[in-house]
Chain A
Amino acid sequence: MEPVPKSKMSRFLFFIAGILLCSLIAAGPAPTFAQDPAAVRGFVRSADGGQSLQGANVILRDTTGNVQSAVATNADGLYQISEIPPGRYRLSISFVGYTPHRDTLQLAPGEQRTVSISLSASAQQLDDVTIEGRRPVKESEAGLRQIRSADIESIPSAGPGSDLSTYLRGLPGVTTTGDRGGRLYVRGGTPSQNKVLVEGMPLHKPFHIIGLYSAFPGDLVSTADFYGGGFGAEYMGRLSSVLDVQLRPGNVNEFKGSVGAGPFLALARFEGPISRGGSSFLVNVRHSLIEHSGPTLLNQQTPYKFYDLTAKYHSQGESSQCSLVGMRTYDRGRLDPNRTASFRWNNTAFGGECLLFGDTSAQVLDASFGTSHFGNAVRSVDGTTRDASAWRFYTNLDLTQPLPNGNSLQWGFHLRADQYRLSLDEPFLGITSEDYFRITTSPYIEASLTWNDRVTLTPSLGTQFQFSRGLPMLEPRLRLSYRPRGSERMKLTAAGGLYRQLVTGVSDERDAGSTFQALLPSPFTDHPPQAAHALLGWNQQIQSSLRVSVEGWYKKLWDLAVPRWTPIVRFNTTLSRADGQAFGADLSIQYEPDPLRLDLTYGYGQTTYQASEDDLGGWTGDPLIEYSPPYDLRHKIGVSASLDLSWVTASARWQYNSGLPFTQVYGYDSMLEVRGLREHPFGSVGTPRALFDRPYQARLPAYHRLDASLKRTFTLSPLLGMTVEMGAINAYDRRNVFYVDIFTQDRVDQLPVIPYLSLQINFE
């Protein structure tokens, strides 16, 4: 272990001490004075099932009707109004489609009033509801796509039900190398640079082997915050993106369930109250059927098996909301149906999260803990196996302190222990095994400051300290939004900061068909991989039904651990250092004249890596090699439309991706090791080599595909409903290449046209 420089250690200790001091000062009850401001906070939920209502308007008026304060609830349905002068107020809480709640409050000096309410659904549209509370600042932040269940439902997907994965894959800036394998590349980053959280639990690879599915069925997702970059210090440890998923709780009032099946999968879900109005459970399980239905439907082998199991316990009270979540995903299959090399991976995670506040303190505490395990393996044609796993235990404490004028201060302390294991068995080359254990802390502090209801500044600062590494480094970040007219109709957003990652994912980038990935601590102890992000966006509500947003992004990447090149046909864990840069722009136009919903997106991106020829082990003849990695997607166009008529919902999506880069070969040979006279022409096979041309100079053919579906729901009885969905994936049967094995020249295409009919029965 390297000695920790004293100055760096001192800085780290000061930082920790500062955060602890903040906690001590702010956590204790303060003495009350006559003019001490009061505060009101609470949860806003649906009376139907107890679900949190995000974006509900909470308005506090004085007795003359003037607005004292207006806020909106966050993803947990939590609102908080602070710094209220003591006195009498009228509180109104409203949410579109629900009957508003109105109340009169008499607030005493220093009082911390809790008002948690459940809104009842209203049959009529509430035209008189004025949206005064600004939507949560996160709503249209730089780099952020806040995904709701309805967004996911609008995309055609081979049911039953929808899936978050289908939605994500259509976003500009998100690249996939194929519709199998479960890997997402976001704005120049690699899959191992993405952070995926489910209620605070990390999941390493929650995307299924068939890319249409993930561990997140659409109607289980309450919200999903997807950051393509520029995220704050609350999220530490990854360079590229963050997907923070909140699952909806089970119904706290009545028992419900559904079962369904389609050619790809079958599902069953059951939920209901444990203590009516107070706690609930939800269990959802999906299992693939495509392995059995595929040969009949497609007249070809479809050796893919996957399942996911999600269970959630949820309890809610006036001043607290807690959940326990367990998840298990499993995938197994052969990416090339004609070869016997098979992949499998699984995620197992269990964790709890509690959001609570007390009567004497203004702070809101978010505490979470749990464990998460990821394992993946590939069995090659020759019977050898590569195996890698990562196991994490974590605990997080996050505190939010309201400040005057609607501002807030948030800080937290995250602690995790990781174990990484790797075992590579290569034909002729033997077994390589590695085992690492790391403990990491990542404290952070973040402020949200608003001026004149027009400018919101969110500076944050965090650090990651790994005990075996001894390199505490500060990561400053800043997020900014500017509303020139004080409303959400026009908004300019910006974000930037420094990002570091202490773990690296090793995958065989020469082979796009490989989905195996080994997670290892970054080998560069002096300088771990890091990135600087800069984002600038513009959002404009042109008409009530037309919204346009444009965002430019730039990422500078340093000290990336990339596989050292070798012409030898083997998985290579020797890493070399590379720098890179990625930039691009995303355009999104949403046109939603009821009942039509039309989305047009275009994304441009360019990613390049640079490394010295010696470091990379290249043979181009140039001292500095600049190349585009295999996920350097330049152009991506997406058009999706959804028409919701009273009797049927029709939706379609067309996607176009320009071709991804790949490395051509100019030949193959079997190298005899003349060195040491180890191999002789008579009797030796040699080591197979692929003789690569200049790296990633060629491009695969462009990808395009049309998916379409029709969905109709039938009410069979007051307690029984049925949803029928029919459609087609790849409707015009485009021959999109998935990958070509450069060693065998076998070509594997992505999914052909797949018609489907799915049925789902819902009961109460």
Chain B
Amino acid sequence: MTEEELPPFPSTCSTIAMVSTQMRSSIRSLLFLAGLLFTFGCDPTVDVVRPSDQYQYSLFGTLNVAADTQVIRVDPHLDSLENRSPDVTVVLENLETGREVTLRDSVLTIGDDRFYNYWAPTSIAPGTTYRVTVQRENEPLTTATATTPSAPPEVDAGSISLPCVDRESGNILYVEVRGVEHLAGVTLSYAIQPPTNGSTPPPVSYTFNHSGEIERGDENFVIRIDYQPDLVSINPESSEHGCADSTDLAHSYAELVVAAGGPDWPTWLHVSLNEIARPDAFSNVTGGHGYVGGIYPDTIRVPIRTPIAR
């Protein structure tokens, strides 16, 4: 190869031009990469809440045949954090007669939290299906349909004996319930006389929920209520027997409330709270979550037997 055949030595300028071309290409690639990153990587906003068209309100409450006022909690999903009013109309409709009652709104404030209860002074018929509708501008958004029990429960209860005995499971009130398909709940209330300071204050009622003790039998329900923990918690220091004694009580009886649940009342007594909290579980609400049920309670007096009657 002669010298003329050799490729020309690149000049400084051509080298710079070549490098410059390569650099421009590299810069273009880098800019393209940077553009991609900035397009997909620079928006730092986070949307935590994605509103649902399907679920808008949660409804909780019972339609009580024995009560003269009905109350339903209405919880708007999106406004909970801001505690704003649901700004809706809530209607209670008897599906058999077509009678509608518009519930009034009220605000319950506990601490910083505000809750919206809708209520109406209206009676509820037994064995009847009702629908609660949350609507805005006459457009129904969320509904719950519930049927009330047709009859109250038939309750047969023993008695409470004071003083409490030391032995475990020796302070049991036996309750048997018949004539109902579902049992919604059981409570036991004691009227306690506060200490007197010259004047006699009215008795204070202490209510204890014993729904966890409900056991379903073949044709009945049985509730074994251990009343010692109730009486201990009322006044743990007043008695040498480990529970409140007759001097604490305003009456010689306790009030036992046993409520029947409607035909669609869920079988959820022994389910964990986590399971009940699942939004899709134990709900009869359409367009939202929660549960509205029909109940028919009966109240009986359970005698409190003491060695020295008051």
Q: Which residues of A contact B (CB under 8 A)?
A: 564, 566-568, 572, 574, 617, 619, 621, 656, 658, 662, 664-683, 685-687, 689, 691, 693, 698, 700-702, 704, 734-737, 740, 742, 744-745, 747
With A665-B49, A681-B61 known to touch, is A566 a contact of B277 (CB < 8 Å)? Answer: yes
Contact of B273 among A568, A668, A681 (CB under 8 A): A568
8 Å CB interface, B172-209 against A: 184-187, 209
With A682-B117, A740-B48, A742-B48 known to touch, is A669 a contact of B289 (CB < 8 Å)? Answer: yes
Please tell me if the beta carbons of A567 and B278 are within 8 angstroms of each other in the complex: yes
Q: CA of A633 to CA of B96 in the docked complex: distance in angstroms? A: 57
Please tell me if the beta carbons of B81 and A672 are within 8 angstroms of each other in the complex: no
Please tell me if the beta carbons of A683 and B108 are within 8 angstroms of each other in the complex: yes
Please tell me if the beta carbons of B211 and A676 are within 8 angstroms of each other in the complex: yes
Q: Which residues of B contact A701 (CB under 8 A)?
A: 41, 43-46
Seed contacts A665-B50, A685-B110; 5 additional CB < 8 Å A-B pairs:
A670-B115, A681-B108, A686-B115, A693-B50, A734-B44
Q: Which residues of B contact A683 (CB under 8 A)?
A: 108
25 of the cross-chain contacts (CB-CB < 8 Å) are: A566-B274, A566-B277, A567-B277, A567-B278, A656-B37, A666-B77, A667-B76, A667-B80, A670-B75, A670-B115, A671-B290, A675-B211, A677-B211, A678-B211, A681-B60, A681-B61, A683-B108, A686-B115, A689-B277, A701-B44, A701-B46, A702-B40, A702-B42, A704-B41, A742-B48
With A666-B77, A701-B44, A737-B46 known to touch, is A674 a contact of B277 (CB < 8 Å)? Answer: no
Per-residue CB proximity of B227-269 to A under 8 Å, as 1/0?
0000000000000000000000000000000010000001011
Q: Which residues of A contact B42 (CB under 8 A)?
A: 702
Please tell me if the beta carbons of B49 and A678 are within 8 angstroms of each other in the complex: no
Q: How far is the CB of A732 from chain B (nearest CB, A)?
A: 11
Contact of B71 among A566, A669, A680, A687 (CB under 8 A): A680
Please tell me if the beta carbons of A675 and B268 are within 8 angstroms of each other in the complex: yes
Q: Which residues of A contact B307 (CB under 8 A)?
A: none
B65 in contact (CB, < 8 A): no
Please tell me if the beta carbons of A667 and B55 are within 8 angstroms of each other in the complex: yes
The A contact surface, by secondary structure, is loop
With A671-B277, A676-B184 known to touch, is A681 a contact of B44 (CB < 8 Å)? Answer: no
B2 in contact (CB, < 8 A): no
User: Which of A566, A736, A737 has the largest number of chain B CB atoms within 10 A?
Assistant: A566
Q: CA of A704 to CA of B291 in the docked complex: distance in angstroms? A: 46
The 8 closest A-B pairs by CB, nearest first: A667-B77, A676-B211, A677-B185, A702-B41, A672-B60, A666-B52, A669-B58, A681-B73
B276 in contact (CB, < 8 A): yes
Please tell me if the beta carbons of B80 and A668 are within 8 angstroms of each other in the complex: yes
Q: How far is the CB of A749 from chain B (nearest CB, A)?
A: 8
Q: How far is the CB of A704 from chain B (nearest CB, A)?
A: 6
Q: CA of A742 to CA of B40 in the docked complex: distance in angstroms? A: 24
Q: How far is the CB of B179 from chain A (nearest CB, A)?
A: 19
Q: How far is the CB of A618 from chain B (nearest CB, A)?
A: 8
Q: Which residues of A contact B153 (CB under 8 A)?
A: none
Q: Which residues of A contact B215 (CB under 8 A)?
A: none
Please tell me if the beta carbons of A568 and B50 are within 8 angstroms of each other in the complex: no
With A670-B80, A670-B115, A691-B289 known to touch, is A698 a contact of B44 (CB < 8 Å)? Answer: no
Closest chain B residue to A704, Cβ basis: B41
Please tell me if the beta carbons of B279 and A689 are within 8 angstroms of each other in the complex: yes
B222 in contact (CB, < 8 A): no
Q: Which residues of A contact B214 (CB under 8 A)?
A: 676
Closest chain A residue to B60, Cβ basis: A672
Q: How far is the CB of A690 from chain B (nearest CB, A)?
A: 10
Closest chain A residue to B295, Cβ basis: A677
B78 in contact (CB, < 8 A): yes
Q: How far is the CB of B148 from chain A (nearest CB, A)?
A: 14
B212 in contact (CB, < 8 A): yes
Closest chain B residue to A693, Cβ basis: B50
Q: CA of A110 to CA of B277 in the docked complex: distance in angstroms? A: 74
B154 in contact (CB, < 8 A): no
B113 in contact (CB, < 8 A): yes
Q: Which residues of B contact A745 (CB under 8 A)?
A: 48-49, 81
Q: Which residues of A contact B277 (CB under 8 A)?
A: 566-568, 671, 687, 689
Q: CA of A691 to CA of B55 in the docked complex: distance in angstroms? A: 10
B293 in contact (CB, < 8 A): yes
